Chains A and B, each alone.
Chain A
Amino acid sequence: MELADDETLVERFVVDGDGRAMETLFRRHMEPVYRLARRYFKFPEDAEEVVSESFLRCFKALQNGQFRGESRFRTWLTRITINVCLERLRQPRLPTLLWESASEIAAPEHEAGGAIEALEKLPDDQRLALILFDLEGYDAKEAASVIGRSVTATKSLHYRARRALRDILELEKGETDGM
């Protein structure tokens, strides 16, 4: 059986209200959207909230004709997800999971040599560049489309982001070595 591409499925959903098209789009992209959200949040619950909100916005926007096909569906959905992540990060939060020890929470980050913690210290655009290029494997053209800059500017952003990450890690290493 031939698999329909995203844009065909979008058309079927928008024009015919095809539930199967919606389901296929959702199942195809749910895991990547969740993975992307987990790059921003420590707890799976936060990522699940982001996934829910992102898909709700996505299908609503599709029905309202807000996807004009100027970019790929995946790129457009990624941009929605990033916006939801950033909005959520800026929301004031109540302390959660107080019963978990700090070491339990921090453990996965230490496995990554502190890189995830360092990532959180970067400006939003640099963090996004590293997530897209180095963690999600986007090419420069698609990353540029998500970020909303030219390919050259996006490559330059990625260059600066890698160096900024390195500087933070080196600084932290220096502090640890000096202890």
Chain B
Amino acid sequence: MECETARELLGNYIDQDLTETLRGTVDEHVATCAQCKVDLTTLQQAISSLTGTKTIETPSPWFAERLLHRLAQESDTPLAGAEKKVEDLQLGLW
């Protein structure tokens, strides 16, 4: 396998999206090619660095209810029970 072909397949290799045969061929190439090995390692590190980002918080229920109320108003669409919920929110009951 040529380096260029191997490098094109590294993304799929990392995503485990290659057939067993093709994966084996990439493995063989990487084992004997120092440059492609570095390419694979640094690519793997970059991807895990990105996917290892911390969990994102959820917005507050208060925000969601306020926005839902606004959407209903602006689209002139009545929401069952929404009026009461927003009143409760304003009164701090929820």
Contact = CB atoms under 8 A, between A and B. Distances in A.
Interface of A: 13, 17-20, 22-23, 26-27, 30-31, 34-35, 38-39, 44, 47-48, 51-52, 55-56, 59-60, 63, 108, 111-116, 119, 130, 134-135, 158-159, 162-163, 165-166, 169-170
Contacts of B56: 34-35, 38-39
A26 B49 contact: no
Interface stretch (B26-34, B64-72, B86-94): B64-72
B64 A162 contact: no
B47 interface: yes
Contacts of A22: 71-72, 75, 77, 79
A159 B50 CA distance: 14
Nearest to A160: B11
16 contacts: A19-B80, A20-B79, A22-B71, A34-B56, A38-B56, A47-B59, A51-B67, A52-B67, A112-B53, A115-B46, A115-B49, A115-B52, A116-B53, A166-B43, A169-B42, A169-B49
Given A111-B54, A134-B50, 4 more contacts: A22-B77, A23-B72, A48-B63, A115-B49
Contacts of B57: 44
Classify the interface of chain B: helix, strand, loop or mixed.
helix
A63 B75 contact: yes
Given A135-B51, A169-B46, A31 B58 contact: yes
B51 A134 contact: yes
Contacts of B64: 26-27, 30
A30 B11 contact: no
A108 B54 CA distance: 7
A166 B40 CA distance: 10
B74 interface: yes
